[in-house]
């Protein structure tokens, strides 16, 4: 019914408006799971899809974005009509898959399945193969497709979190300029879990997180119609004694290219800290650049390139750097041994003694114990089964008084 209503609305718009008055306006359709649907945002208007819609509407470039996001789905639900999945895998979902997106007249399809495939135990090759099928279905129809990366989660085994990070790298590599990084804008300082600024429930992100995702879509300039000529083949930021070394390599660079080196403290708001003029080639050469940030920020920083070619502008993927120090963070809390039995990974920049505390929702300390933290990560096993069910929090107090707090999952 939802798809029928959308198609009817689209047909009515075509009837009421002469074709030449709307031809220049693109149709965007989003398919995916709960993030695409807007879960975690306080209202539908606060979801990243709606933020992107308002941005392009203000520019007069689109009338609407059709959102076919459906919570709990995997890439199998997005596969085209007629696809037969392997045994034990679900069929595509009529009305929410890539075929439905194309039936809505999509000029651009945004594919957003950030985590369910990995969490459900599908292999990385299976996940990527499905994304390839969806992408190629759109391209075969003569339309444009963008694929978002995985996203960081919380309260999952480290192996799962690392697979999600690997998925980011694979998608960025496979889909290149037609990928959108939804991982780095959301990840915490441990490079695996959700930044507490965006935290809702260990899977979804809040309004601020949706704004960060919207910025990633807008920065990719998905309405440009075609990728820039330049191909960025490598981009990295590495701590060194002199500061943070930024390096990048490109192909097919035009003579008028300008690189803006941008830095952010939170992964959302970036400022340009230096510019480099492109060296220019005849289109066949590889060029490598390097620049050192001699006054880096303390702790964690985010870097990206703003690439300007004539009147066109695009952005590199975001990379992160954490300058080593005594900083503490609770990397992850998960429950591999049953309700109330938790494994905790604590990050510490240096070896130090710490006080580990558990307190309840009323702020009462119910357990504490000193513990040595060995850099970079110390793993602890904690048993909360002797406590009444409810909300509990883990607090780590370092040798210099630095503190970090994180809630336990419900048990």
Check whether residue 30 and residue 155 sit in a common domain.
Answer: yes
Percent of the chain with pLDDT over 70: 88
Residues 160, 119 within the same domain: yes
**Helix, strand, coil proportions of the chain in percent (round to 5)?**
25, 35, 40
The average pLDDT across 192-210 equals 92
Structure confidence at residue 402 (pLDDT) = 80
Asked, as a colleague might, if the bond just before 376 is cis with ω within 30 of 0, I would say yes
* 93-110 pLDDT per residue, tens: 889 999 999 999 999 999
Contact 25, 107 (CB under 8 A): no
- 131 and 261 in a single domain? The answer is no
Q: Are residues 119 and 265 in the same domain?
A: no
What local confidence, expressed as pLDDT, does residue 6 receive? 45
Q: Is 316 part of any domain?
A: yes
Does one domain contain both 38 and 150? yes
Tell which of 322, 355, 370 closes a domain: 322
CATH number, position 337? 2.60.40.2550
Judged against a pLDDT cut of 80, whether residue 229 lies above it is answered with no
350 and 267 fall within a common domain: no
CB 147, CB 178: distance < 8 Å = yes
Q: Does 158 fall in a domain?
A: yes
Q: What is the pLDDT of residue 285?
A: 64
Over residues 154-179, the mean pLDDT reads 91
Is 226 a member of any domain?
Answer: no
- Same structural domain, 310 and 247: yes
User: pLDDT tens for residues 54-74?
Assistant: 999 988 888 889 999 999 999
- CB 132 within 8 Å of CB 80: no
Question: CB under 8 Å to 46, separation ≥6 — which residues?
Answer: 38, 207, 210
Residue 191 lies in a domain: yes
Sort residue 23 into left (φ over 0), alpha (ψ -120 to 50) or beta: alpha
Is 154 within the bounds of a domain? yes
Q: Has residue 225 been placed in a domain? A: no
pLDDT digits (tens, 9 = 90+) for 295-322: 887 667 888 888 887 767 777 777 878 7
Asked whether residue 83 falls in the same domain as residue 132, the answer is yes
What pLDDT does 225 receive?
A: 52
What is the Cα Rg of the chain in Å? Answer: 23
Task: Report, as an integer, the average pLDDT of 355-373.
Answer: 90
Which domain-ending residue is among 322, 339, 364?
Answer: 322
Cα 374 to Cα 399: distance, rounded to the nearest angstrom? 12
Specify whether 16 is located in the same domain as 132: yes
> Is 377 contained in some domain?
yes
- The structure tokens listed for 280 are 């220019």
pLDDT band at 230 (very low <50, low <70, confident <90, very high): low
Check: CB of residue 227 under 8 Å from CB of residue 178.
yes
Q: What is the CATH number of the domain that holds 203?
A: 3.40.50.1110
Q: By residue range, what is the domain housing residue 15?
A: 2-220
The answer on 267 and 207 residing in a single domain is no
CA distance 153 to 117: 13
Do 267 and 315 touch, CB atoms closer than 8 A? Answer: no
Residue found by looking up tokens 């935290």 in the block = 199
Counting residues of the chain whose pLDDT is more than 90, the rounded percentage is 49
Mean pLDDT (whole number) for 256-264:
91
Nearest to 264 by CA among 199, 197, 170: 197
Output DSSP code: residue 17.
S
Residue with the larger pLDDT of the pair 166 and 63: 166
Name the residue among 227, 302, 232 with its Cα closest to residue 263. 302
Most confident of 28-42, 280-294, 321-335: 28-42
Last residue of a domain, one of 220, 252, 282: 220
Please say if the pLDDT value at position 160 is more than 60: yes
Please say if the pLDDT value at position 7 is more than 70. no
Q: Tell me: do 80 and 106 sit in the same domain.
A: yes
Backbone angles phi, psi at 353, to 5 degrees: -90, 150
Whether residues 43 and 121 fall in one domain? yes
**1 pLDDT tier (thresholds 50, 70, 90):** very low
Q: Is 74 among the domain residues?
A: yes
Mean pLDDT within 338-347: 87
How many domains does one find in the chain?
3
Tell me how far apart the alpha carbons of residues 264 and 197 are, in angstroms, rounded to a whole number: 15
Nearest to 151 by CA among 67, 57, 267: 267
């Amino acid at each position: 019914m939802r798809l029928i209503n959308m198609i009817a609305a689209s047909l009515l718009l075509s009837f009421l408006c002469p074709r030449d008055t709307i031809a220049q306006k693109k149709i965007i359709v989003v398919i995916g799971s709960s993030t695409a649907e807007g879960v975690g945002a306080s209202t539908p208007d606060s979801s990243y899809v709606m933020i992107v819609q308002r941005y392009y509407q203000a520019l007069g470039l689109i009338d609407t974005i059709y959102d076919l996001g459906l919570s709990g789905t995997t890439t199998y639900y997005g596969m085209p009509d007629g696809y037969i999945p392997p045994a034990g895998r679900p069929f595509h979902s009529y009305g929410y898959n890539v075929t439905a997106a194309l039936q809505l007249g999509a000029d651009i399809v945004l594919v957003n399945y950030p985590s369910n495939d990995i969490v459900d135990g599908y292999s990385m090759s299976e996940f990527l193969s499905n994304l390839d099928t969806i992408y190629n279905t759109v391209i075969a129809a003569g339309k444009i497709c963008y694929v978002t990366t995985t996203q960081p989660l919380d309260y999952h085994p480290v192996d799962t979190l690392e697979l999600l990070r690997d998925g980011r790298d694979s998608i960025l590599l496979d889909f290149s300029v037609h990928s959108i990084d939804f991982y780095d804008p959301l990840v915490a300082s441990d490079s695996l879990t959700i930044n507490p600024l965006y935290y809702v429930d260990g899977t979804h992100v809040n309004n601020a997180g949706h704004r960060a995702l919207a910025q990633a879509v807008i920065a990719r300039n998905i309405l440009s119609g075609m990728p820039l000529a330049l191909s960025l083949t490598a981009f990295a930021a590495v701590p060194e004694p002199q500061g943070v070394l930024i390096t990048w390599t490109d192909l097919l660079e035009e003579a008028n290219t300008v690189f803006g080196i941008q830095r952010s403290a939170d992964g959302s708001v970036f400022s340009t800290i230096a510019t480099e003029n492109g060296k220019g080639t005849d289109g066949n050469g590889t060029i490598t650049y390097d620049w050192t940030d001699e006054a880096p920020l303390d702790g964690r920083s985010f870097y990206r390139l703003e690439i300007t070619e004539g009147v066109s502008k695009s952005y590199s993927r975001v990379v992160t750097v954490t300058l080593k120090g005594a900083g503490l963070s609770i990397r992850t809390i998960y429950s591999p041994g049953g309700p109330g039995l938790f494994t905790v990974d604590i990050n510490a920049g240096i070896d130090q003694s710490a006080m580990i505390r558990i307190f309840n929702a009323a702020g009462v300390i119910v357990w504490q114990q000193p513990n040595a933290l060995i850099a970079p990560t110390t793993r602890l096993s904690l048993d909360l089964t002797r406590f009444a069910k409810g909300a509990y929090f883990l607090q780590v107090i370092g040798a210099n008084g630095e503190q970090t707090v994180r809630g336990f999952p419900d048990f």
